[in-house]
Chain A
Amino acid sequence: MEMRTVYMDHAATTPLDPRVLQVMLPYLKEEYGNPSALYERGRAAKDALVDSRETVGKLLGAHADEIIFTASGTESDNLAILGAARAHEAKGKHVITSAVEHHAVLGCVEQLAKEGWRTTVLPVDEYGRVKPEDLAAALAEDTTVVSIMLANNEIGTVLPLREYAKVIRDWKKAHNRGPLEAPFLHTDACQAAGALSLDVAKLGVDLLTVNGGKIYGPKGVGVLYVRRGIKLRPIVFGGGQEMRLRSGTENVAGIVGFAKAFELAQADREAEGNRLAALRDMLIGGIQARIPKVVLNGHPAERLPNNVNVSILDVEGEAVLLYLDAVGISAATGSACDSASLDPSHVILAIGRPYEFAHASIRFTLGRSSTEADVAYVLDQLPPIVEKLRAISPVKMQLDGTIVGNASAFVSDGRPHWERNVILNEVKNHSSVGTGPTKNLQDPSLRSG
């Protein structure tokens, strides 16, 4: 019997829309010309490139010449942050970002720190939003780039980007800085591209990243919007394509596919958003009704319509994923066991949850293929899995982050009391919701997967 499969990891990547594949195919086959070439085949490729750039520009409320095609969202983030920072370093060497950014952004900031830059990583509230006043306090004469995401990839929280833009605008006014002078506001909008309006003027951003693999387009295509007149220093050098900002022969098929995918995603944004939000709420409500001791991570209302992220206490995320996979359900976790670095999700920790909540976090991200039947299937399958793993688990944790000592027949069996669950007690004493990660557990000797 064919096993039912339910794909609920659309935040990781989306399948390619067949309509997108259709428009890409000619450029993978007969229209293989290099857009830099003068002959007919080259001109056809160039035309496709020009049209795609115009399409993307329009969807962002931007000019075509403000659109740079890159090879990924990560590359766009790198070009935005490293490019703007380095081009304007005469103004100062300070960058600001948030604690919940994607590693594509955090990695750039860490790199700049290694190169001697001053870096500020702003904390977030319990839902994952930077407070505008924190940003205002962090801005300084030497700040060149502020990078804050539009919507979080793990917990789905939408951040009030316009407020951040206003903070920066006010700061510039007060410091006699023009719109083409630092600090610049960059946003990683990869997760938001299918769900929110990305009108750059309304958002008030100077730089904006989107990519293809999250919007039913091809992987390996990213876009960076760069407001007219803002200077960037390239990070890839060569033939001078993409207005000298991103050398390398253009991925014409990918770019054409991206433009089509972005167009389709934005056209369908509101209807699809409403449909997904209803399914999302059904899934969140169903999990909370059927499984005790669950907390929702991220904002209850200001969140992406397709994102469900819950911490299911006393179970470990990777174990849940493997059991879900065995019944055909694809989901994600913030548990350390599932990451290459064996670090638990920095996002779940940043919103003030203890480590245990990160290990226990499960993310379901819905998409175009998701149906009510899919949600019902997950709601049927998940509770018995959790029940089984909880029966296996010796950990009993409370929603407030405290741990109930597991009553054992041996508690007073002549053993010195310090041998009993000392680490459990230690965690009980030192982590609670709202205080964030405890320092002691960053000790690598205690780290485990």
Chain B
Amino acid sequence: MSDDIRNERTGERWVYSPTVRDHFFHPRNLLLDEPTEGSFDASGVVGSPACGDVMHVWLKIDKATERVSDMKWKTFGCGSAIAATSMFSVMVSENGGMPLADAVQLRPQDVMKRLGGLPNRKIHCSVLVDKAFRKAANDWFRATGQVERIQVDGARVVDPATGVTDKDIEEAVLEGAVTLEDVQKKLKAGVGASEEVRTEVEQLIRFYKEKYYG
């Protein structure tokens, strides 16, 4: 019986290495119940069920050493999404826990290496766990007052005065903001105070409004 599918042109293995299969069929560090209040120090969620992947991660972080002492997760997604999340949770919590500073540097390639590879077409879409993890890390940084360590994936600061990014604006629009005033209210920040920034912010609002509701 063949366990794999090969791309006849590139020879690329389409489906999953034994490690991927192992993590897919026997996921590690799953969170099966809803977490109780205060049982974790931080959490983050990325993805969209419409796109086929949602990842939610919960972290326990040792306050003294800032190592990741535990990572639990839930994932809605395909085989590689589940396996990648499982492997990532092992990587950050094994050997006494990875320092948070190192863990936020992990990239999809690092997960893939440990998984023994993933089909190319699956990498961008299914390895979202590092992003979910960074969101959880941001949650931690915010809770511990380390605002300067917050990293936002793929976002660009559009208003230096408030640190508001294009992603913040996009999310505000997704939440129903349609005017600059709405966005300011949602973001609890006086975004767009200066003339030139305001123009750009308003453009972004129009762009996302068109994109999502047009």
A residues near B (Cβ < 8 Å) are: 314-319, 322-323, 326, 335-338, 340, 342, 344, 354-356, 359, 391-395, 397, 403, 406-410, 413-419, 421-427, 429-431, 438-441, 443, 446-449
Contact = CB atoms under 8 A, between A and B. Distances in A.
Contacts of B78: 316-319, 335, 337-338, 449
A394 B75 contact: yes
Contact of B121 (A395, A409, A449): A449
Contact of A342 (B39, B47, B121): B121
A335 B79 contact: no
B35 interface: yes
B37 interface: yes
A326 B49 contact: no
Contacts of A355: 49-52
A425 B37 CA distance: 22
A446 B48 contact: yes
Contacts of B27: 392
Given A409-B36, A414-B142, A418-B172, A393 B51 contact: no
Interface in B136-172: 139, 142-143, 168, 171-172
Given A441-B48, A448-B47, A449-B122, 7 more contacts: A317-B78, A335-B52, A419-B171, A421-B45, A424-B48, A439-B211, A448-B128
B214 A439 contact: yes
18 contacts: A319-B24, A319-B82, A354-B50, A355-B49, A355-B52, A356-B49, A393-B54, A394-B56, A395-B76, A406-B56, A410-B40, A416-B187, A423-B50, A440-B212, A443-B211, A447-B51, A448-B51, A449-B122
B44 to A, nearest CB: 9
B9 interface: no
Contacts of B89: none
In this complex, the member of A323, A394, A409 whose beta carbon has the largest number of chain B beta carbons within 10 angstroms is A394
Given A315-B76, A392-B74, A336 B52 contact: yes
Contacts of B76: 314-316, 392-395
Given A337-B77, A342-B121, A418 B50 contact: no
A308 B151 CA distance: 46
A426 B173 CA distance: 10
Contacts of B37: 409
B48 A425 contact: no
Contacts of A314: 76
B152 to A, nearest CB: 10
Contacts of A342: 121, 125
A423 B82 CA distance: 20
A337 B80 CA distance: 10
B173 to A, nearest CB: 9
In this complex, the member of B37, B38, B176, B212 whose beta carbon has the largest number of chain A beta carbons within 10 angstroms is B212
B125 A449 contact: yes
B13 interface: no
Nearest to B38: A409
Nearest to B75: A392
Nearest to A437: B50
B205 to A, nearest CB: 14
Contacts of A319: 24, 77-79, 81-82
A422 B54 CA distance: 12
In this complex, the member of B24, B27, B53, B128 whose beta carbon has the largest number of chain A beta carbons within 10 angstroms is B53
A408 B34 contact: yes
Nearest to B188: A416
B126 interface: yes
Contacts of A409: 34-40, 43
B131 to A, nearest CB: 11
Contacts of A406: 34, 56
Interface in B1-39: 16, 24-25, 27, 30, 32, 34-39
